[in-house]
Amino acid sequence: MARILVMEDDEDQADCLAECLVRMGHKVDIALTSDKAIGAVDTGAFDLVVADIFIRERDVMVGNGGLRLIRHIREGGRGAPATCRDVPVIAMSGVLGGPTDGHFLALAGQAGADLELQKPILPARLSEAIESLLLPRETT
């Protein structure tokens, strides 16, 4: 079982993703904004972060919300556990659809995401992604 932080601005999608992860046996915390996600990373110890790239904050679409979170994690956070920068990150995008998502997912990879997935994400693909990121850590 892993402790996973999900940053997703759409509450219904966040709940659906969390339910899927709980059914896989994980403990899930949800952050609906990048500020809340950064605060959670700074105060909690997570095994994995799943972050949407585009998030709506104060009714404005923020294209760097997920990128901001990823960079914050890779820089080690503020007061976060020392291992914060090593937490695997899965970046998601799907708000725009089509080839544009690939561009933004590539930016997430450059920011330090370990894996980029385009929405909609099937549970089997999500499970494979989590296993590929967490299994190597558990066996070392």
Burial class of residue 11 in the structure, from the number of CB atoms within 10 Å of its CB (0-12 exposed, 13-18 middle, 19+ buried): exposed
Structure tokens at 42: 């700074």
**Helix crossing, 34-43 with 65-74: angle to 10°?**
20
Q: How confident is the model at residue 118 (pLDDT cuts 50, 70, 90)?
A: confident
Place of tokens 């997703």: 8
Q: Please report which confidence band the pLDDT of residue 105 belongs to, taking 50, 70 and 90 as the band edges.
A: confident
Q: What is the pLDDT of residue 58?
A: 61
Q: Which residue has the higher pLDDT, 39 or 100?
A: 39
Predicted pLDDT at 136: 65
Domain 3-130 adopts which CATH fold?
Rossmann fold (3.40.50)
122 strand-pairing partners: none
With b meaning 16 or more CB within 10 Å and e meaning fewer, what string describes 99-138? eebeebbebbeebbbbbbbbeebeeeebeebbeebbeeee
3-7 and 27-31 beta bridge pairing: parallel
Give the HSE-up count for residue 100: Cα atoms under 13 Å, Cβ half-sphere: 7
Indicate if the pLDDT at residue 101 is higher than 90. no
Contact 79, 47 (CB under 8 A): no
74 versus 105: the higher-pLDDT residue is 74
Average pLDDT over residues 135-139: 62
Q: Answer whether residue 82 shows pLDDT above 90.
A: no
